[in-house]
Structure formats: structure tokens, C-alpha cells
Structure 1
Amino acid sequence: MTAKEDQKLFESQMELLREGYREKLEHQLSEMVKLLKNLEKSLDPLPALETLRQELHKIAGGAGIFGMPELGKKARTLEIQMKGIRERAALGKEVPVSEILAAIMALHVPESLPDKGESASSMVPEKSFGSAGDLDVEEPRLLIIDPDDKRGRELVLALRYFGYIPRHCSRLSSAASLFPHKAPQAILLSLSSSENPFSVTTLAEEIKDLFPELPPLLVLSDSLDFSTRLAVARAGGQGFFIRPLDVPKVVDRLEQLIGRREMAPYRVLIVDDEPMVAEHFCLVLRAAGMEVHREEDAARALDMLSTFRPELILMDVHMEDCSGTELAGIIRMEEEWVGIPILYLSAESKMEEQIRALNSGGDDFITKPVDDAYLVASVSAHVSRARRLSELMAKDSLTGLLKHIRIKEALEVEMSRSNRDGSTLCVVMLDLDHFKRVNDTWGHATGDRVIKALAHLLTRRLRRSDSIGRYGGEEFMAVLPGCTPEKAEILMEEIRKNLKTIEFHAKEEVFNVTCSIGIACSSLGSSPEEVLQAADQALYRAKEEGRDRICIS
């Protein structure tokens, strides 16, 4: 879907929701008037007064969101007054029914809502960093400048194995035609043996003329002397490599400079007993590329923690059966959910009430009505920070992939999703062949480079919706949601072939490695343990049949 189509769909959904809210509001005010007219006959006015206060609270939070800020402010003022009237009524004071009735009847719903151009909700919010987008990652674009055409072509081929899109030119003057619209994400500049090392500074200036925001610059050279290193540093170089190139080392540096694969969409759970308000927030956050689930019932919301596994909870404070602060307290009782960010989203404007809510397990308090862009920015900032902290604890320090326990958790999450929507899911087990021989012959440092090279290959070749983990030692595991065995085999066959073509350098020798792969696919109702065991058995069969191959369960 194009950006224009996205915008059109978003506008039509918002328009339907706004009109629906307007109709609901008229009915809500009508029911409040009926309730007040019956109040004089009631022996106990307290329940009716509390109902009126709650309804006014809902209007105070929702009206501004749907383009009626003045109505929302009036409802908020009346809500505060209603609280005082109820407290006095509890002490036996007379209820000023006629005054309340006049104030309620003065809450007019506008005949028409503001034009879309005046509404803060009329534009699709900018995609957050962890947005869904397309399933496939955009492969990084690299520029290789090397006067030696043969050497340049060989490097292009080697980097393609890792999922990059390199372009080679022998002269800088040809670079602009290779990247007419977008600058490369990194530049690899090769110095010839006859070249003055300090010419790299001049070349860097010329590159900057072509690409004003100079991409990361890596320099490849035959020389290891200090003057060459100094010239590279002065030119703003961020990497220096000696020929013959150890390509996995170059890839390792590229990963550090231009980042790993894009993140999966942020997962947000909204808990609010006002369906239309919650749906508004859903539309806004989904338009920003997030995966959102909403619940009105607190008990069901608690169940969603295990199945949906949200990265942030957005909840109202004042809900009828279970308040937001009570639900937060329940959530914080579970050690597994102690770290999940909880953002209160409420019309409550009293500072002491907000502080009390924050002290009851919340991380932040956003007052309704809230600007859509601010909501997206706030949610993104909290999830991004929580995700980074989680990564530091969940990721393997050598490869940056998920640790053993985390990749198994990712499988549980994707299996729950797969069973809910009836889609297929593939699990891949991958093991380096004869890896002990690599460690014994070339040392553990070289073995680590081989493991990192395979991790980079998997990271670049798999989709951002996939989960990849280091299962243990030289064994890796990948979870591919929405993938058939046939597609998984094609994808893993490409990875298997690419790995065996990579040249590793150690002790003045060059060697290659291979891997064996097992694939299993889920069926409706199957458990994570069953699929994982099937993939493991397929891997064992691949080893038994001679290694360097793929077997499907």
C-alpha cells in the first residue's frame, strides 16, 4: 500500500470513529439527563451521583481526542464539582438537582466536527523505529572505490554473500552515477600500493563534495605503517584493513557502523473501558507501525501478557471493575512483568492523584486529551529504552543474537500468534560442521570470527520479522513466522551456499567452513517443544547423511 493509500485509509477510519463517538456522546448526555430527572425520586442519590461523575470523567478524556476540546474542559470542571456534591450528599446535604441538570444540558455536542485539516488526528503518524513496514529488510548499499577492477569485483561478490548491495567503481568520478538518488550507507576506499597515503585526505574531501553527509569511510590498504593510519584518521576514516582482506572482519565493522537489521514492530497493549477512545489510540499507534491489542476487561488483559507479550502497557486509571492502579499492582506481583513499562493515560489532572498512580507501579502519566504525535513519541521512547535494556540482558555478547532462553521464548510467542491466526511457522536449527577442528587448528579467536560471520550472514539474509538466536556453542536457531517449509528451504539453501564460499584467514592460511541445517514446520495446535524437537531431529539427520546439507522434518 502506498503512502497516499495509507493516508486515505487512516482518514476514513478516523472519520468513521469520530462520527461514531459523536453519536455515542449524544446518547450518553441524553441518558445522564434521564438519570438526573429520576434522582429526586431516589432515596439514595449516591450511586446516581457516582455514575454521573464517571460519565463526565469519560467525556472529559474522550471529547478532546475527537476534536471537541471545549466540551472536554467543561465536562472536566463539572466532574470535579460532581465529586464535591457527592461528598456533601454523603453527609446528608441536599443535592442541587436543577443546577446539575442545567449544567449537563449546557454540554452541547457540536453539529459538525472540525475539518480534517484542523484535526491533530488527520495525518498518519510518522513510522516509529520499531515499525512493521515490509517484511523484508532493505539491504545496505555500499560503494567500493578500487582502481583494480578484478579486486573490486571480487570484494563485491564476497560482500553480497552477507546480504549487502555493493557497487564498484575504479574512479571516484563514476560514483555519482551509481548512487543518483540515495547516498551509500558506507564507502570502502582502496589505496593502491603506489599511492601517497596522505592522498586519502584529498579523496575524502572529494567524496564529501559528492555526498555532503559523509557516510562511514573504511580504507583498504597494503601498508600497515603509522603514516597511512594517521592519514586515514585525519580523513575521518572509521575502519582500516590490510590486504589480503579478512572479509568477515570487514563485515563485523560494517555491522557496528551501519547497524544491525531493523527492529520488529513495537508491541503495545491498551487497557481502557472506553472502546472508542481505545480504538482511536489503536489506530494512531498502528499507523505508526506498531502492533497493538486492546482490552476493556482487566482479567483478559492479564491473560494477554502471556499470549501477546506486550512491550508496553497503556492503560486508563479510572476503570469501573478494576482501576488502572489496581491492575498495575497485580502485574507488578509477577517477577516476569516487573520491567514492562506501564503508561497511565487518563483525564485525571490532579497532581497528587497522578503521583499516587505512579507510586502504584506506573512509569509515566499522560493526560487526556493527548496529541497523537506526542503519544507516538512517548510510547516509542519508552519501548525503545526498554528494548535496549532487554537486549543487553537477552543478547549473546559475541554475536548480538538472542541467547538460548530468549530464542525459546521468541518461539513461544510466535507459536501463540501462529495458533491464533492459523498461519504456518518454521523453526530452523543450524550447526557448523567440524567446528572443533577450527578451534583446534586455528585457535578460539578464529573460531569466534567464524561464529560471528555466520551470525552476520543470518542477520542480513533473514527477515526482520524472524527471530535468530545462538542456541549454544556453534549451534544456531531461527524462528520464521508465516513461512512455509519450501520457502524456508530456499532461504536456508542460499545461506548454506554463501557460508561455504566465505574465505577465512588465519596463520597465513585460508580455509572455508560448512554447516548442516534442520527445518520443521508447525501445524495447528502443535506445541513449541514439538516443533523444536522435530527441527533438532532433522538437523541430526543432516549430520548423519554427510553434513553440508538441509533436511526437512
Structure 2
Amino acid sequence: MTENEDQRLFESQMELLREGYREKLGQQMDKMTGLLENLEKSLDPLPALETLGHELHKIAGGAGIFGMPELGKKARTLEIQMKGIRERAALGQEVPVSELRTAIGALHVPESLPDPEAPLTSPLPERSSGKAGAGDVEEPGLLIIDPDDKRGRELVLALRYFGYIPKHCAKLSSAAALFPQRPPHAILLSLSASENFFSVTALAEEIREVFPQPPPLMVLSDSLDFSTRLAVARAGGQGFFIRPLDVPKVVDRLEQLIGRREMAPYRVLIVDDEPMVAEHFCLVLQAAGMEVQREEDAARVLDMLSTFRPELILMDVHMEGCSGTELAGIIRMEEEWVGIPILYLSAESKMEEQIRALNSGGDDFLTKPVDDAYLVASVSAHVSRARRLAELMAKDSLTGLLKHIRIKEALEVEMSRSNRDGSTLCVVMLDLDHFKRVNDTWGHATGDRVIKALAHLLTRRLRRSDSIGRYGGEEFMAVLPGCTPEKAEILMEEIRKNLKTIEFHAKEEVFNVTCSIGIACSSLGSSPEEVLQAADQALYRAKEEGRDRICIR
């Protein structure tokens, strides 16, 4: 679908949901009227009062979301009064049924809903196709500004090995001609020993004149003094490196700044016993590009955590049978889910109640009705931080790739998703050929550089939705969701060939390395262990058949 078609579909879904909610409000009013009639006949009014309070809480939280803020406020006021009535009834005092009937009758449900404002304050994000292919990743263009021609050419060559397309010029005045169609993805500004921080400031101003929307700027310098660093920061620099350059570190920073690979969608679980409110939040978050599932029954949430493996839980506080704070306590008992962000959503406006909820396992509290754009921003911020922290804890220190146990967990997550939606995924095992010879001949420091080079090639070529891990030593593993064996082979063949072209320098010698690759594809109902074993067998066959090749199982 096009962006406009996505927007129209989203708006039509929301309109149907709003109309459905208005009809359900009528049913809720009928239910409360029936409860009031039972109150007059019942010897124990507490169960009916409890249900009345819960229905009012639902209206207080949902009415504003669906364009009826005044109704929501009235329901919230009556909900608070209901708590006092329930407390007095528990002490044996008479329930003022006629007053309740008048108050509930004043909760007027409009015949039609007003036209709502746009649910999101920004256009819907572009959706990824989720398919891997040789042409899916745009090779990033880099501008290298260095008056030293030899030094500039050397950096161009070094970055080409990692899949970049660098262009070098001695002066910024030549840059526009090198990038006539669109600006570069990043600029590497090289300062000589004679240039000082005034040069950085002046060049940054010139960059803005050449590129009105300047790309990320990284500065390469001979100087480590604070004044130069401060000038780079004031000029908007986002990277600072001292010569002689550690090119893999430069590539690390470029990967962070350019963000070329596709971001895996945030996974959010909504727990709310009000289906239409939950569906509203679900549509809003899905429209923002997130993967969302919802659950009404608290007893099924732990199973949902195991199968869906969300990165954040959006949970109502007041739910029948099991409150949000009680459910949070149950979730926090499980070691695996101690750190998952839990955002409470509730019409509860009392600060002391919100604080009590936060002290019961929550990370934040959003008051219903919550603005849709604010909801998206809050969820995104929490998941982004949680994902970054998880990445730091889960990644191998040398390569920045997932550790052994984490890449296997990623396979389990993607296999669950694959079996749910009927899609396929590929598992790739890679192993550097004769790596012991590299360590024995040129030392472990050089061996580490070789391992990092392959890690960068994998990171550069694959999508963010793909998971890449260092399986052990010189062995790597990649999980490619939504990918066929044919496309996986195209991707891996390019990586295999690129690795062979990289020249490694050690002890005044130059050498090259190769790798062997095994690929296996999942089938509906297959287990992670079966696919992983098949990929490992394919890798073993590639080794047996002479190395430096790809085998598919």
C-alpha cells in the first residue's frame, strides 16, 4: 500500500471503532440500569456496587479516547463517589439508589460522535517490506574532505572494503559536483596538524551552505586537545577520531549515525479488559509501525510473553479479577521479565494511586484519555532505551554482535513469529577458514581485526530486522526472517566475495582470508533446533567440499 492508502485505511478502521464504541456505551448504560434494579432487591449490595464502579471506570477511561471528554469526566467523578458509597455500604449504611439512578441517567451518550482530530500528529511511517534481497540496501555515499591526496585515497580504499562508496576531494568547493543528485550520507572532515579549531567552525559553516540539510559530520584530526573537541561539538560534529585511524571504529560510528539497516518493529503487548479501548491503542501503535498484540485475560499473559516476547507491556490498572499492579507483580516474579518496561494506562487521576501503581512494578503511568501522539512517543522512548540497554548487555565486546545465547534466543523469537504468520526464515552459519593459521602466524591482535572485519561486513549488508551473532570463536550466525534460500545465497555470496578482497596488513606482510557458509530454511512447524542443526550441517559440508563456498541444506 502507498502511504496515503495506509492513512485512509487507518482512518476508516478508527471510524468503525468509534461507532462500535458508541453502541457499546448504550449496552453499558443498560447494564448499569439493571444493576441498580438489583441493588434495591439485594441483601448484599457490594458485588453490584463493585461492578458499577468498574463499568464507570471503563467509561472514564474510554469516552475521552473516542471523542467524548465530558462524558469521561462525569464518569470519573461518579466513579470516585462510588468508592465512597461502597465503603459506607460495607459498614452497613444504606445505598442511595435513587441518587445513583439520577447520576447515571445524566451520563448522556450522544447519538453520533464529533469528528475527531487526526489520531497521529505526523504522517504514518513507511513500512518495511520485510524481504531480504541483494538490492534492498542502498550503498551509502560518503564525502571525505582531506587536503592530503594520498591520505584521502587510502581512506577511500579502506572504507570501500566495508561496502561504502566514498568520494574524496581536497576542498569543500568540489563537493557539490561529486554529489549532484543528493547529499552524502555522512561527511568525514580531515584536519591536518596545521589546522586549528577555527578551521572546523569555518568549514562547518561552508558545509551548511553547500548542503542546506547537512549530513552527519565526523572529524579526523591529529590533535587531541579540548579546544578542538569543543569546536567539533559546536560545529555539530557527531564523531571525533585521532590519527592513525582505527578504521573499524570509524565504521562502527558510521553504522550508528547512518542507520542504514531496517529497524525491527517494536513489539508491544496491550493488556486491557476493555476490548475497544485496547483495539484503539493497538491501531494507533500499529500505524506507527509497531508490532502489537492484545490480551484481555490476565491468566494468559505469561503464555503471551513466552510466545510473542514483547519489548514493552501497556497495561490497565483496574481490571476485573486481577488488577494491573497484581499482574505486574506476577510478571516480575519471572526472572526473564524482571526488566521489561511496564507502562500503566488508567483513568486513575489521584497522584497517590499512581505512585502506588509505579511502586508495584511499573515504569511509567499514562492517564486515560491519552493523546495518541504522546502514547506513541512514550512507548517508543521506553522501548528504544530498553532495546539499547539490552543490546549493550547482549553483545559481544569485540564485534558488537549478539552473544551466543542471545542469537539463539533471537532465533526462538523469529521462529515463533514465523510459525504464527506462516512465513519462512533462513539461518546462516559462517566460519572463517584456517583461522588458527592467522592467529599462529600474525598474532591474536591481527586475528581480532579479521573477526571484526567479517562482523562489519555482516552488519553492513544485512537488515536491522535480521539478527547477527558471534556464535563462538571465529564462527558467526545470522537469522534472516522473511527470507528465501535464494535471496539468502545472493546476500551471503556478496559477503563471501567482499571478505576475500580485504587486504590485512601484519608484520609488513599482506594476506587475505576466506569463509565457509551454510544456509538452512525453516518450514511451517519446524523447531529452532532443527533449523540450526540443518544450517550447521550445511556449513560442515561447505568445509568438507573445500572451503570458501556456500552450501544450502
Taking structure 1 as the reference length, the TM-score comes to 0.88
1:486 matched residue in structure 2 = 486
Maintained 8 Å contact 1:11/1:122: no
Distance 1:181 1:352, change over 3 A: farther
Task: Give distance in 2, aligned partners of 1:437 and 1:200.
Answer: 47
Partner amino acid, structure 2, of 1:485:
P
Partner amino acid, structure 1, of 2:379:
V
Maintained 8 Å contact 2:425/2:484: yes
Task: Give distance in 2, aligned partners of 1:94 and 1:423.
Answer: 61
Shift of 1:93: 2.4
Task: Give distance in 2, aligned partners of 1:101 and 1:232.
Answer: 71
- How is 1:416-431 mapped onto 2 (pairs within 5 angstroms)? 416-431=416-431
Task: Give distance in 1, aligned partners of 2:225 and 2:141.
Answer: 26
- How is 1:370-519 mapped onto 2 (pairs within 5 angstroms)? 370-519=370-519
Maintained 8 Å contact 2:3/2:124: no
Maintained 8 Å contact 1:425/1:481: yes
Of 475-484 and 436-445, more deviation after overlay is shown by 436-445
SS at match of 1:238: strand
Task: Give distance in 2, aligned partners of 1:407 and 1:308.
Answer: 17
Task: Give distance in 2, aligned partners of 1:260 and 1:14.
Answer: 33
* Alpha-carbon displacement from aligned partner over 1:186-240 (angstroms, at most 9, x marks no partner): 2245799xx97679767665434323647324559xxx8x799999997778335
SS at match of 1:401: coil
SS at match of 1:71: helix
Task: Give distance in 2, aligned partners of 1:232 and 1:393.
Answer: 29
Task: Give distance in 1, aligned partners of 2:2 and 2:406.
Answer: 35
Partner amino acid, structure 2, of 1:90:
A
Partner amino acid, structure 1, of 2:314:
L
Q: Which of 118, 121, 124 is the equivalent residue of 2:119?
A: 121
Partner amino acid, structure 2, of 1:457:
L
Maintained 8 Å contact 2:128/2:262: no
Task: Give distance in 1, aligned partners of 2:311 and 2:102.
Answer: 45
SS at match of 2:92: coil
SS at match of 1:328: helix
1:546 matched residue in structure 2 = 546
- 1:264 correspondence with 2:264: yes
Distance 1:230 1:82, change over 3 A: closer
1:10 matched residue in structure 2 = 10
Partner amino acid, structure 2, of 1:366:
L
Where in structure 1 are there 5+ consecutive unaligned residues?
A: none
Distance 1:196 1:103, change over 3 A: closer
Maintained 8 Å contact 1:411/1:528: yes
Shift of 1:251: 2.8
Shift of 1:142: 1.0
Task: Give distance in 1, aligned partners of 2:229 and 2:119.
Answer: 49
1:238 matched residue in structure 2 = 240
Of 526-535 and 348-357, more deviation after overlay is shown by 348-357
Task: Give distance in 2, aligned partners of 1:433 and 1:294.
Answer: 47
Distance 1:56 1:253, change over 3 A: closer
Distance 1:232 1:406, change over 3 A: closer
2:313 matched residue in structure 1 = 313
Distance 1:177 1:284, change over 3 A: farther
SS at match of 1:265: coil
Task: Give distance in 1, aligned partners of 2:179 and 2:445.
Answer: 37
* Alpha-carbon displacement from aligned partner over 1:42-77 (angstroms, at most 9, x marks no partner): 333322222111111100010011111110010011
Partner amino acid, structure 1, of 2:217:
P
Shift of 1:518: 0.6
Maintained 8 Å contact 2:185/2:216: yes
Shift of 1:296: 0.5
2:133 matched residue in structure 1 = none
Shift of 1:147: 8.3
Maintained 8 Å contact 1:241/1:250: no
Shift of 1:164: 2.6
- 1:86 correspondence with 2:64: no
The CA RMSD over aligned residues, in Å, is 3.2
- How is 1:317-328 mapped onto 2 (pairs within 5 angstroms)? 317-328=317-328
1:530 matched residue in structure 2 = 530
Task: Give distance in 2, aligned partners of 1:374 and 1:42.
Answer: 44
Task: Give distance in 2, aligned partners of 1:485 and 1:300.
Answer: 36
Maintained 8 Å contact 1:246/1:504: no
Shift of 1:258: 4.6
Shift of 1:339: 0.9
2:60 matched residue in structure 1 = 60
Task: Give distance in 1, aligned partners of 2:228 and 2:80.
Answer: 70
2:217 matched residue in structure 1 = 216
Taking structure 2 as the reference length, the TM-score comes to 0.88
Where in structure 2 are there 5+ consecutive unaligned residues?
A: 131-135
Distance 1:155 1:497, change over 3 A: farther
Of 25-34 and 522-531, more deviation after overlay is shown by 25-34
Q: Identity across aligned pairs (percent)?
A: 85
Distance 1:392 1:335, change over 3 A: same
Task: Give distance in 2, aligned partners of 1:228 and 1:551.
Answer: 52
Distance 1:182 1:284, change over 3 A: farther
Shift of 1:124: 5.3
Shift of 1:432: 0.8
Task: Give distance in 1, aligned partners of 2:72 and 2:247.
Answer: 62
Q: Which runs of 4+ in 1 moved over 4 A?
A: 122-127, 136-139, 145-158, 167-171, 189-192, 195-205, 226-237, 245-250, 256-262
Aligned length: 540
* Alpha-carbon displacement from aligned partner over 1:106-155 (angstroms, at most 9, x marks no partner): 11122332323xx262545775xxx9645455543312457899997886
